[in-house]
Structure 1
Amino acid sequence: MEVSSPLTEQATGARGSAARPLSIWVVSDGRTGIQNQALGLAEAIARLTPAEIEIKHVRWRALFDRWPSGLKTPAMLTPGSFDPRTATEWPDLWIATGRASLPLSARVRDWSGGRTFVVQTQDPRWRYDRYDLIVAPAHDGLSGDNVFEIIGSPHRITPSKLAEAAPAFADRIAPLPHPRVTVMIGGKSKAFDLPEAHAAVLADQIEAAVQTTGGALLLTFSRRTPEAAKAVMTERLSALPGWIWDGTGDNPLFAMLDAADHVLVTEDSANMATEAAATGKPVHVLPMIALKPPGKFARLHADLAAQGAARPFDGTLKDWTYAPVNETERAAAAVLEAMAARG
């Protein structure tokens, strides 16, 4: 049964009297952490109004990939990439994330004859006037008439999605003792590093906390985790009850978050911190080696702390409660309101 709401009625009205689903294209380079921002926002919109979502991947030939966005043309796309030259119709809503999407996002309004409402997540750092709405992290400090700020990044985490993922991994997770500690490890970036020695220190601290509580460990690494860090953490933590996912098979992250009593995340990723805060579980932030002042990451963690979600990891697994941080849903409502306002 579909439940009507003012937002649903506004969106339907913006599309005309015929009650047809909102057509949404989700556009990115296809990397999971990038795509999930646009896809999570699209899914949140689809929970507010009937919608059909299509995923489009944009990839540029290696020769042109690092070129400025303003110089790129569709002729530079790789074979198999979404190519706007082949589009016969355009969606009601284009939601894109990441640098690869920018040369197309900036031209969608022209290509669609103004039919398509263009949303870009993250700070595009280029041609701000070419997007109908920019859903930007508050910690980036972006402002403007077409900017909607949220804490962190849009994502796909909802209680129902976590619960749906759990049965597929129940054989591995259900027998584990509580408290279950889900650990999300990032890696090297422009702002942070995770050398082997520091990874060993973190592993020892995590091991001590889990052993003290008699709990279990559920750990995942990101694609940015250095191999040396991954190896030393796996070696030092493998004796604990639990599961260290080695990257083979289906990704168990949603099931691990569903099972978690505590979530530990390294401080290098806005995505991981925001996803963890959407669970309502205590979020403990693990320190990394800073390569420059933390700046926006410090602002993000302060925002999450102000929501009651996150605290620096102090070596213990203290319990606390807070309302899950639900910024993706808030952004979805803002998109529909902006579409309705444009008419």
Structure 2
Amino acid sequence: MAVLPLMTDERAIVTLDADNPVTARILCTDLAGLRNQALGLAEAAGFATDNRVIVPKAPWNYLSPMLWPRATCAVEAGALAGPDGDLMIGAGGAAARLVAALRRPDLPAVIIQHPRMDADRFDAIIAAPHDAITGPNVIVARTAMHRVTPARLAEARAVWAPMFAHLPRPLVAVLIGGSNGRYRLDTAAARQIADGLAGMMDADRASVMLTPSRRTDAAARAMFQETLAPRGAWVWDMAGDNPYFGMLALADAIVVTADSVSMVSEAVATAAPVMLARLPGKSTRIGAFMDDMVACGRARDFAGRLEMWPVTPLDDTPMAAGELRRRLGM
């Protein structure tokens, strides 16, 4: 399988024609990780976006999308209503079924992640190397699609710098995910990570700014708060504006739980070294991605100490977006 070359210096692929923009209808279930991948690809390609949320209807919401007899009958009407746009971009299993069903000669279907169905039903598939899918319509990207851009980071840095100005350098951003069916972030796992972060703060005189995600269990959040806040760490309480992009922009180093390809892809798109906090559990696909990030030197496993080494931002979103436009002739 040929992997297209990385392009890490350039994000803007085209400038939108204000009089005749290409509009992508974004089709995803209400999961931030999927939605941000589709939006990131569309934005990097210079498309205008029309965001639609896929809401499965009963009884299909209790079944895997692979078992839906007709995708257009299994979802609420909001995702199906016009206008159609110039192409569809989806991410995830439900989106794969729906964009394949809605595809027309004048409405190309693009899916992010392995669709787990006939690849010929899509005009383009954005896949990872470990998806092991090939074909003339497959674009292989080493990292997940996302919305982390130099411009967005610069904007976030200006907004959030005053909030974190009291924290001494080096400043470590900690990105916490959660249990997902393959990995487990329970109280015991949270305690182990929190203890490692506390040891790093004590031994390396590092400051910590930590953000949980919507998937982080309340008990795990409490564990981080109770362990790290007394040492001066800033732990987001999930209220008010989300500091995520500000933390990415300001970090001298990043620690991120290794349960999410999307979250790690966003971290490695910055100029900061990234350390992976591994979790109990197993996923061949996610594990292969994390191991690749370590093997190429872009990430290291977190061992309770601050590690700093020279890195270059790693981001395949611009490459995939440019290749998508080329293949679709847009």
Instruction: State TM-score, norm by structure 1.
Output: 0.85
Name the counterpart of 2:10.
Answer: none
Q: What are structure 2's unaligned runs of at least 5 residues?
A: 1-12
Letter of the 2:79 partner, please give it.
Answer: F
User: Could you say which residue in structure 1 is the equivalent of 2:252?
Assistant: 261
| Match of residue 187 from structure 1 | 178
Q: Is the 8 A contact 2:269 2:314 kept in 1?
A: yes
Partners of 1:8 and 1:73 in 2: CA distance? 33
Q: Which position in structure 1 is the counterpart of 2:38?
A: 38
SS at match of 1:239: helix
Distance 2:130 2:224 in 1: 30
**1:64 matched residue in structure 2:** 60
Q: Which moved more, 1:204-213 or 1:68-77?
A: 68-77
Matched residue SS, 2:234:
strand
Give 2:300's aligned residue: 311
Shift of 1:72: 3.3
Is contact 2:42–2:48 with CA below 8 Å preserved after alignment? no
Per-residue displacement from partner, 1:43-84 (whole Å, max 9, x unpaired)? 1101xxxx32221111112422234444134344336x322x
- Give the counterpart of 1:197 among 182, 188, 191: 188
Out of 200, 208, 214, the position equivalent to 1:217 is 208
Give 1:177 deviation, angstroms.
1.0
* Identity score, percent: 34
Whether 2:80 is the aligned partner of 1:102: answer: no
Distance 1:287 1:241, change over 3 A: same
Provide, for residues 292-332 of structure 1, a one-character-per-residue CA deviation record: whole Å limited to 9, x for no partner.
4x422232123223443101112221211222112111110
Give structure 1 stretches of 5+ with no counterpart.
1-6, 13-17
Distance 1:194 1:8 in 2: 41
Between the aligned partners of 1:182 and 1:8, the Cα distance in structure 2 is 32
Describe the shift of the 1:72–1:243 C-alpha distance in structure 2 as closer, same or farther (beyond 3 A): farther
Structure 1: how far apart are the matches of 2:287 and 2:74?
38
Query: Structure 2 CA distance, aligned partners of 1:45 and 1:307?
Result: 27
CA RMSD of aligned residues (A): 2.3
Letter of the structure 2 residue corresponding to residue 319 of structure 1:
M
Moved more, 155-164 or 64-73: 64-73
Matched, 1:82 2:79: yes
Distance 1:37 1:135 in 2: 10
Determine the C-alpha separation between the residues in 1 that align with 2:225 and 2:243.
Answer: 17
Aligned to 2:23, the other structure's residue is in SS state strand
More deviation, 143-152/156-165: 143-152
Alignment of 1:117-132 (within 5 A): 117-132=108-123
Contact 1:90/1:115 (<8 A) preserved: no
**Cα distance in structure 2, aligned partners of 1:213 and 1:175:** 17
Q: Is the 8 A contact 1:151 1:304 kept in 2?
A: no
Letter in 2 for 1:177: P
Contact 2:185 2:216 in 1 (8 A): yes
Letter in 2 for 1:74: T
Q: Read off the aligned partner of 1:99 and give its amino acid letter.
A: G
Aligned length: 316
What residue in structure 1 maps to residue 280 of structure 2? 289
